[in-house]
Amino acid sequence: MRLKTFHAKTMSAVMDQVRAELGPDAIIIQSETSKSGVRVTAALEAGATPPPPKKAPTPEQTPLAYEVDHPTPKTREFDNGDISAVLNHHGLPFDTASHLAEAVRAVGGGSLSEAFSSALETAIKFSPLTDATSRPVMLVGPPGAGKTICAAKLTADALLHERPVHLISTDTVKAAGIQQLDHFAQLMKQTVSTADTPNELDAVIRAKTDFMGLTIIDTPGTNPFNMDELKELLKFIQKVDAEPVLVMPAGLDALDAQEIAGIFARMGCQRFIATRLDAARRYASMIMAARPGYLALAAISRSPYVAEGLETASPLTISRLLTALPRGKKAEAKMDSKHD
């Protein structure tokens, strides 16, 4: 394992150094904050390779921003065709698209991303995960959504903020589930407790009576359309009064995502983390799951690597995702909108 220590005035600057030197596979081992700045010790697993020197992207590789980032104040930089192009590209259902388009048009000025940001503030719900939570956080969701990676990212973030973490897994049927989380935990000098049943989970949590940190519980994949699996998961949630947080990948069918969000809302979820944004180009599923009456969007994940942590979801962050289309997609989407 390769270890290296980095120092900078801010945590953001240190993390930039870590990613540039060791790449996205790096794991944060230790962090210290002092008057002189932030010192972080990071590790790169043996066999992994640091990133190659960055090259200037060719024009074909460079995404084309869909709007002007800094328009003249109070100047509209878009038209109805731009709005329709964005909504058509992401595949929002007609009713939701119509309401969102109306809200965007009602914004008096600014760039397209700013207008969508204002519209999203009232169209969907946001509720970031914070260090203030006292209930155990139980990550739940369909198989392959990225719950274990999210557990590792939440652990790394808590440790960076010097908050103790109790990491637990109930994914004990598949050996790979435990091994993956245990691998990340060891790199961060943490241990993983396991629990096969709700009673075991309760005993593991109660064993740390004076624990004042963050308890994170990783769970096996749950089929949202299998009642037996949902009932089994509910037993774990209720036994320890955990806060279930749905982990759901981007790129799902919009109405499937809405239905899944509704099912997990009835299981006690109030918010969700959208993952695998790097592997999707259409985000209607995220919008539909975050509509009023379903769940609030807490965070997003754009990378499978722990060093690239979760990002707090905000109207502007989501707006920029919606309005930034790859090169050539703007013209295609606008052409499609003219035929609707």
Provide DSSP, 99-122. Answer: HHHHHHHTS-SB-HHHHHHHHHHH
234 token code pair: 């509910």
Averages of pLDDT over each 10 residues, the chain, 340 residues: 75 76 71 71 63 50 36 56 92 94 87 93 91 86 95 92 93 80 91 96 92 93 97 97 97 96 97 96 96 95 90 94 69 50
In whole angstroms, how far apart are CA 218 and each of 32, 224, 239, 289, 311?
Answer: 27, 17, 15, 21, 19
Q: pLDDT at position 51, please?
A: 60
Which pLDDT score is estimated for 147?
A: 96
Q: What is residue 67's predicted lDDT score, i.e. its pLDDT?
A: 37
Return the pLDDT at 61.
Answer: 38
On whether the CB atoms of residues 298 and 272 are closer than 8 A, the answer is: yes
pLDDT at 49: 55
| pTM of the predicted model over 0.85 | no
What is the Cα–Cα distance from 103 to 182, expressed in whole angstroms? 46
